[in-house]
Each structure stands twice: as structure tokens, then as C-alpha cells.
Structure 1
């Protein structure tokens, strides 16, 4: 399976990327958008497995402030997900030559995917696979992020993240956690974007997700304009592709196969 790694420039940002499988002239492209503490390397082998199961290519990249991409100034603006979806994702797709995109977003990445599909990406996005997305702030999210902050400052979380983010570890963690723990973030809400989402959507949610409840799934399913499917995974937390990889891969491959056909 062919692979390419390097850096691209999009919206004035130098971003690390990895391309797996066929190029954009040969097949649709799965664009993987990582979680609030994620990056290219934290997807592990999921991109390769998706490519093998679907025949599509996969573009994986780290947003600014994550992985080996350029760093950012803190604090992040509280509307960082809206900004990313409206202004940056499209520039990344342009820089990579992506023609037809299926966005595969996890957590923050799922939220960013919704914003992009509702705004700049309406003509290019053929479908959405959203794992543990959020469209509003819940108390369970705030409590879990506060616990993660304690683990980062007094436990082993910082060391684990530094293996993936290197010198960006502070920007990655503080940018995410300080935004979500800001009292003003309780008013953060993406539901106004949902009626503009016309692409077919698959939402995958763990029933034991410590960062969000089924209310997020219900809001998306009831709010988007396009067809929507949902998959609830028992015994699964916030990362379906890591905790329940076989079910997540099978559901994603089936959904993508319908789009490609």
C-alpha cells in the first residue's frame, strides 16, 4: 500500500500530513480529522485499514499546534472549531488536490467536519463519518476535561502525549483544555450549522463515552438536512476506532461503499 508523508501549507500554516493509498485522481479521499488531543500518529493503523476496506485514498493531517505541525499562540479562540471548519479544512483539501472528500472526524474533528460540510465544503464533501462528535457543551464533557487536566499536571498524561506532539505538547493540551474549561464555552453551540449539512452522515457513539452523551447524536440526527445513520456501541467510550475497531471499521466501510457506488 503506497504511503507519502511530508508537510503542506494551508491557510498560512505548515501542517504535517500522511497520504495512504490511491491519489485523488484515482478514487475519493477519506479525510481524517483528529480529536482535541490527536494528531497524525495517534490514528495508528486505522487509515491503512480504512483504505484496504474501501479502496479510497486517505489524507491524515495534524492541525496547527498538534503533532509535528507548526505551533500556535495560546489561548485558542473559543470558536476554534468553527474557524477550522470554515477556513482551514478547505485550504488543506486544495493543497492536497482532493476532488471528492468523505470526512472522517473524531470528537473535535467530527465537529469541525460538520462545520465544513455546512459551509465551504458543501460542493466537495460526499459524506461524513462522525465518531463521538459534539455540537454543544455538556457538563459531562467539562468534568472529564477537568479530570484530564489534573492527570496532565500530576500524572503520566503529559509524557504520553509528548511522544506524539513533541514540542507542541503544551499547545495541544492547553489549547484544548483551556478553551473547554472557560466558563464562556458553556454557550458554545453548533446546532445552527446542522440544517445546512446535506451530505449523508454516519454518527458513531460509544454508550460509555465520558466526554459526551447520546444527546449529541440525537441533536445531529434531528438537525442535519441529509440522510443520517447512527451506531451506538455498548461497552465503548470516547474512541470507537481504538476501543471497538472491528465494528467501527465495518460500519464505516459499508457506509463509504454506498457512497462510492
Structure 2
């Protein structure tokens, strides 16, 4: 009765569309769900014939209002279907609070895919990245390696902080990795002789002045890299390096030897 009373308050044409949305059979409902009217679509959500296939088709639309998407989210069918949860999150008009509520239900690489969807909002991307990062402690190594190759810059930065050599090696090939993230890693306690060497020999990163400086200031850097990189620095840079309190005794000797070679005291 409530729906009938509501229909009666609209004009004849819209009233007819609303009634049809409520009573259409499965095949007719497909056409109803193409309506530009949010009122008609909202009425269609109450149709007993509405099923998952109808909702998946509806969620492909990019002109849905936030209110309609909230109404879809509240349907019992969404709570019971993983595919519908994913489809709701993937819609660029889905309100932030709905996205946040659904992200914990998505699989790891579904979250990564969301980060790269055309039209994804910055807030949606950030929420998906945070959900991935929160799961990293319990993520198997194989999945972390895949994330290292496919992940966003923020995900890569989180993986670098773990300090695992295999993961670092995979991260270095990711085109989205930022030099600043590598610099921070080289300056951190997580860097080891092995991971520093991975960066020092990497063709993309071994010529970056800031990274060379960072690795030469790390106490764990093998002396072999001092022998390679010190000759490429100017004398003022080498003196600054010698003044660093971070170097090991062996590293200091290598720096002093380079200064002596240049005739410097």
C-alpha cells in the first residue's frame, strides 16, 4: 500500500514507470534498469524478480547517484554475494563510507586492481592501498613478490620497509617505485649488506647521486661499493662523507685512502 500511495503522487507517466519497475518480470527488468530516472531504479530494487545478474548490470553504470548506491549496498543480496561487493566498490560514485565498509571483504589482488581502475577517486585508491598494507604481515611471500611487481608506490614503500632481499629485488623492477622510497630505505636500519648491494648494482638506480650518497653513509655497505663509487665523487663530497659519524672503521679507511690518492690529507 505504501508503494501504491507513493506512485499516486507522481504524474501518470512516471507513476506507470514506477509501477512497471515494481512488477516487471526478469526479462522486462533488464530494460527497466536502463532508465535514467533514479526513482525508477530505486523502485526496481524492490522488484521480487531482481537477482544478482540484474544488479551486476546496474552497477556497471557510471551515472548512478550516491543515494541509489547506498540503497544497493543495503540489499541482502549484496551481503551474500562477493561479486556484488566487488561491483559496488568498483563503481566510482560509491560513497566513501560504503567503500570502507566493503574493502575488508575483498581479496588482496582485487584491492590492487581497484587502485588502477579508470575513474577511481583518490580516496578510494588510498583506502584500497591501506587495506593492502594492513594485510602485509600475514601475506605469503609469493603474494608479496607479486605485489612488489604490481603494487602502487605506497604499497611498494611499505614492502621496502620489511627489508626482505627477495622482495626488495622485485620492488626495484616496479616502474612505480620512487627514488625517495629507496633513499629512505637505504637510510634505515632495515637495509642490509645484501639489499644495499642489490640497489648498488641495479642499472636503473646505481647512477643516482642521492642514492650513492645514501648507501655510502650506511654502515652496512660493503667496502667494494666504496671502491667503485668514491672515484665518482668530488673531493668536497668525500670530505663530507669522512665527517659522517655513521661510517665503520673499514669504511673510513677506504674514504681516507681515496683522499690520499687525490693528494689530500
Q: Same fold judged by TM-score > 0.5?
A: no
Taking structure 1 as the reference length, the TM-score comes to: 0.26
Taking structure 2 as the reference length, the TM-score comes to: 0.25
Q: RCO greater where, 1 or 2, for CA within 8 Å and sep 6 or more? A: 1
Larger strand fraction of residues: 1
The structure number with the bigger radius of gyration is 2
